[in-house]
Amino acid sequence: MHRIIAATLAATVCASSAQAQTSPPATAEEGLTLDRALELAGANGPGIGASAAGVRAAEAQRRVAAQRLNPSVNVEVENVVGTGSYSGIRGAETTVGMSLPLELGGKRSARIALADTQTARARLAVVVAHADLRLRVTQAYNEAVASERRLLIARDQQRIATEGLRAANVRVRAGRASPLEEQRADVARINADTALAQTERAVMLARGNLARIVGRDLGALDLGWFGRVAAGIGPRLPATPDGTLALAAAEADVATANAQVRLVRSQRVPDLTLSAGARRLEATNDVAAVFGVSLPIPLFNNGRASIDAARAQRDQADALLRVALLDAQQAIATAETDLANAEANARAANGPALAAAQEAARIARIGYREGKFGQLDLLEAERTLAQTRATAVDALAAYHDAEARLERLTARAPTNTEVQP
């Protein structure tokens, strides 16, 4: 009778594990897909709002740069509060006029050019913010789904360990095994319970992080997305950093530095101030016109130091552009290698390796049930299967992470960030 019960429990362990390993992952029909998460995060992302405000500020600065200098109204009163016939205001002569500064050297056009480059850089920052947010959401979604897949595995392992403990208890009571076998099964069950509790906390953390990004409760996630690996047909063409966001940002900084040099050069040319007015002569009560021209003398500050500073900043921007190119090339090459390795690991871990581990565990359970294998053989097969399933999830998570990072690194820069006059 005890042998029949033991066989039944062992068969139950085999059936429950086989069902857990072969059942397809659940998919989110009405839940939160990755595309929906990206949409929600884009609407609620503070980084997007900050970059958009930067564009508005740059556009306002562009309007300021296009404005001309304001004229001035001048009023002068002469020959007052003196001595003799000039005491009081009886001999006052009043001049009323207007002064108009004239910018020379192309200062206004240089200011506009600098503002245009800054506005284009701000608009590019919006695209960069969207790309960064897409990477962040994808990584958070990937981690949340991976944690739920690990939770399924932990629950399966906890159920298998519990059923294994029951089977060992029956075998010990039937006299077919020593009490040590029951102790081993109990240790395996305790470890499975602990791993399950840890995995549940990891799921709560990952889902909470994703919920904070998208700004709403998650519901079910698309577990089917996690298991999909792109079909690689032939070798991938290596990506280049040309036209990417990282390189475009560095090129925009160089353009801004060049515009700053042009502005500083234009500021070395002195501006003229023209003035015209009318003067009333108190002695004869006549009115006469007054004209004037003023020109500053660059005696102490000739603008040379400002040009040197602007050129140094331009050289710095050029050097940083070369650094950005090297960094982008290295990062893209690393991401491509990581993606290729992760894809190979994901296909192997979720294909031949997982099938072999499942078959080994199935044979070990049958052998343990029939008394051909010992408990250590069964525990080793179950441990190998658990590790293989965990490795499969880790490989898929690494694949999706590498794919998202490569997509971010190769994101193309828009061509319509130039300011229209």
Q: Is the pLDDT of residue 26 over 60?
A: no
Q: Which helix (H) or strand (E) holds 99?
A: strand 93-102
Share of residues in the chain with pLDDT > 90 (%): 37
Instruction: Give Cβ neighbours of residue 370 (< 8 Å, ≥ 6 apart).
Output: none
Q: Which residue has the higher pLDDT, 24 or 387?
A: 387
6: pLDDT strictly greater than 60: no
What lies within 8 Å, CB to CB, of 59 at 6+ separation is 119
Tell me the pLDDT band of 25, cut-offs 50, 70 and 90.
very low
Confidence of residue 110 (pLDDT cuts 50, 70, 90): very high
Q: Is 210 exposed, middle or buried (0-12, 13-18, 19+ CB in 10 A)?
A: buried
pLDDT (tens digit, 9 = 90+) per residue, 249-292? 999 999 999 999 999 999 889 889 999 988 887 777 788 888 99
Distance CA 365, CA 373 (A): 8
* Per-residue pLDDT at 370: 67
Task: Output the DSSP codes for 339-370.
Answer: HHHHHHHHHHHTTHHHHHHHHHHHHHHHHHHH
255-269, 284-298, 341-355, 371-385: range with highest mean pLDDT: 255-269
Residue 131 exposure: Cα atoms within 13 Å on the Cβ side: 19
Contact yes or no for 106/266 (Cβ under 8 A): yes
Q: What is the pLDDT of residues 359-374, one digit of tens each?
A: 887 787 777 666 677 6
Look at residues 364, 171, 365 and name the one whose alpha carbon lies nearest to residue 180.
Answer: 171
DSSP string, 120-176: HHHHHHHHHHHHHHHHHHHHHHHHHHHHHHHHHHHHHHHHHHHHHHHHHHHHHHTTS
Confidence check: pLDDT of 390 > 90: no
pLDDT of residue 257: 95
Residue spans of beta strands (DSSP E) within 256-330: 272-281, 286-294
**pLDDT at res. 147:** 93
Measured between alpha carbons, how far apart are the two ends of the chain, in Å? 93
Contact 400, 138 (CB under 8 A): yes
Tell me the pLDDT band of 331, cut-offs 50, 70 and 90: very high
What's residue 232's pLDDT? Answer: 57
pLDDT of residue 162: 84
